[in-house]
Structure 1
Amino acid sequence: MSDVQANNSWFQEGVDGRMKKSFTPMQKVTSAITQLATGNLPNENDEYLNMAKRTSRSQNDINVLQQSPLFLTQRNRTEPKCPFYVNNHLYKRGYYLADGIYPTWSVFVKSIQYPQIVKEKKFQRQHDAARKDVERAFGVLKEKCGVLNRSMCAMSVKKIRNVLYVCIIMHNMILKDDENTITQVHIRDPPVEHVFDDTVYNELIDEDTHYRLKYDLVEHLGEQDLPHLLADSDDK
């Protein structure tokens, strides 16, 4: 409890706008954990926690991808460095697997809707399989944290993001407590000074890099001996 209060002043006991004593740290922590576990709204905890109703409202701040903070670390030059080679070409940063609705940016790799040749079919199957792995992992998290199964009632994207981070951290804490963690090694990137570089945006949205990366991945995967990607196919 003391660690929670030390890291977030909201959980500390104080006074409200009427100069009356606020909720106790135990009430606040219990309410927060209950919301994460069950997905219930804050006012559904009032009865047994003796807490006043609090009105929450949902707000979708991200209507277009350009407004998203997803690539903020790239634009201020603080992202982890992860260059890689594929098909003898160097790429400066990683990428996200995405479906067809996403733009043709250098950081998105989309599947092939209508593959025609063997290597395209292999790429499509591997792409779909990798995306399903991510979806299954998130599904496990949703089973453990009910708050992720319903519409978010946070007031900002930052709060929604923090809720997700807390769920992931709690899940990892449970794995560690049960001795089911994959690794105990924690490697932190050295601190980097924030330097906003607007030219990075042009690199992120570069269509030429998007198509070249996709082509290189198709070629690379086509050279690999992965017969399971051609299962139930006429192109074995």
Structure 2
Amino acid sequence: MNNIDYDLKDLAQVTSAYDPQQQLDILDFLDAEEEEENQQPIPKNPRRYFHRDRAGRATLLWNDYFSNTPTFPEDKFRRRFRMSRRLFNRISACILSYSHEPIPSYFKYFHQRRDATGLLGFTIYHKITSAIRQLTYGVAPDIFDEYLHIGETTSYRCLENYCKSVIHLYSSEYLRKPNTHDVQRLIIKHEQIHGFPGMLGSLDCMHWAWKNCPVSWKGQYTRGDHGHPTIMLETVASYDLWIWHAYFGQAGSNNDINVLNQSDLFKELLEDRALPCNYTVNGKQFTKGYYLADGIYPNWATLVKSFKSTVEPKTTKFKRYQESARKDIERAFGVLQGRFAIIKSPARQFYIEKIQCIMYTCVILHNMITEDNGRAFCGLEEDYQPVRHSLSIRERFDTHLRMDKELRDSTIHRFLRDNLIEHIWCLPPNVRIRPNQQAGPSANEAGPSGTNNQHEEDDEEDDEGEEEEDDGEEEEDED
């Protein structure tokens, strides 16, 4: 009984202490405070603004390199832009004057426009200079901000749109396959220079390191002898350092054979659309040109390899000639990396498509510079039209099987190499004619560069690679 009275007394105290109006006032106060907090703007980090003197820097750039009396002469321009001023202006004019509708956005990007405040944007010289400096020096996009007054994001967009524009304009000419005239000139020049009749060029692969490769892809793009992710480039180069074939994008874990099986180097041959290539070696007639390759490549009918070790004098002489001629592709890789240091440095892009654009742009510009310097054996024949055959699916399939069997015929490979060994052995000493020597009427047919002093020009190319590192430090100090 006493316990019941005590519980009732406590309940009466609690009930008397509860005030509903007071509780409603507290809830209203909390709601008002929360609403006030929501109405107050959340503080944000203000976007920093850097005043960049676009007009002043455009004038400075024009006076330094592009005026009638520039501050820096032609040799300084060629050293820092890796091309002549004439070639630079030619590319700029083609980009600016492109008028085929619809005009792609990467061409419109180089048109000078006004921003939201009414100020004029960067000129085309500004943007292309920023892009070329990134290609030639391989530095971060904002490294030239102090001289050109272009921010990091704008510089990166300049590089991306410049690469797309160059590929759109010049890939059909400077990444073309050899036509009939090119094949004949290449055969003549390589026989004169290296002593190999029927030689079309040298074949090899190189690796470009990928710094920002996704973690999930690193195992796929990493090979044991490199130890870091790379992307592979397969090329064919001739003695004049012209790159006739470029296939880029395969994972670095592949070897040269895997890349060869996936590339389109022998696409025309497998479709039976290859250009005629008739030549005679040691009295034997052959109808397919060939490329010089190293020991990893398969024994195909269109590849000529050397020997691992030789004992006989004939094979020793052939090994010396073959390895000497195959230096063309190594020189091409060295000059390509010397001109465009971005290939020598690890790629910083995240997307492989953008890395491909940069690589193909460097190859196109390399061929354009080779032509502009007057060293190219061949020129584009404007009236040349590739031959197209309309075949049924069954006919194409049968043709592919037949040509693939001929391509992979190791018997023809050994037969060709044996005849080349006899041909090289019969050559008298110093029979190979360098371009700086008088080669008779056949040399004149090979092209206008036959009388150039090629040894001096090659030394200039090698010097570009040696001076490249010094150029980068000097450029930062001067800018």
TM-score (norm 2): 0.39
Q: Which amino acid aligns with 1:148?
A: I
Larger Rg: 2
Structure 1: distance between partners of 2:299 and 2:413: 6
1:13–1:24 CA contact under 8 A, matched in 2 = no
Change over 3 Å in CA distance of 1:226–1:29 after alignment to 2 = same
Q: Secondary structure at the match of 1:169?
A: helix
Match of 1:36 among 135, 150, 166: 135
State the one-letter code of the partner of 1:39: G
Distance 2:333 2:139 in 1: 19
Alignment of 1:17-28 (within 5 A): 26=124
Say if 2:151 is the partner of 1:50.
Answer: yes
Report the equivalent of 1:222: 425
Cα displacement (A) at 1:36: 2.5
2:95 corresponds to 1:4: yes
The two structures, once aligned, show a CA RMSD in angstroms of: 3.7
Aligned residue type for 2:95: V
Shift of 1:123: 0.1
Change (3 A) 1:161 1:228: same
- In structure 1, the partner of 2:370 is 172
Count of residues in Structure 1 that have an aligned counterpart in Structure 2: 218
Structure 1 residue 102: Cα displacement: 0.9
Gaps of 5+ in 1: 15-19, 230-236
1:17 maps to what in 2? none
For residues 160 and 215 of structure 1, do their structure 2 counterparts lie closer, same or farther at Cα, with a shift above 3 Å needed? farther
Match of 1:155 among 335, 352, 367: 352
**Post-superposition CA distance 1:106-156 (Å, at most 9, x none):** 121111112121111110000111112442344233322223323455724
Could you say if the C-alpha distance between residues 160 and 135 of structure 1 is closer, same or farther in structure 2, counting changes exceeding 3 Å? same
Contact 1:13–1:25 (CA<8 Å) still a contact in 2?
A: no
SS at match of 2:304: strand
Select the structure with the greater relative contact order (CA < 8 A; seq sep ≥ 6).
1
Distance 1:225 1:193, change over 3 A: same
Is it true that 1:82 corresponds to 2:277 in the alignment? yes
Instruction: Name the CA shift for 1:146/1:219 in 2 (closer, same or farther; >3 Å).
Output: same
Q: 2:331 aligns with which of 136, 141, 145?
A: 136
Distance in 1 separating the partners of 2:122 and 2:336: 29
Which one-letter code corresponds to 2:106 in the other structure?
Answer: F
- Are the aligned partners of 1:12 and 1:24 in contact in 2 as well (CA < 8 Å)? no
1:69-108 map, 5 Å = 69-108=264-303
Assess, with a 3 A threshold, how the Cα gap between structure 1 residues 11 and 102 changes in structure 2: closer, same or farther. same
**Contact 1:87–1:219, Cα closer than 8 Å, also in 2:** yes
**TM-score scaled to structure 1, two decimals?**
0.72
Distance 1:183 1:111 in 2: 26
Say if 1:4 and 1:11, in contact at 8 Å, map to a contact too: no
Q: Report runs of 4+ in structure 1 exceeding 6 Å deviation.
A: none
> CA 1:35 to 1:124, structure 2 compared with 1: closer, same or farther past 3 Å?
same
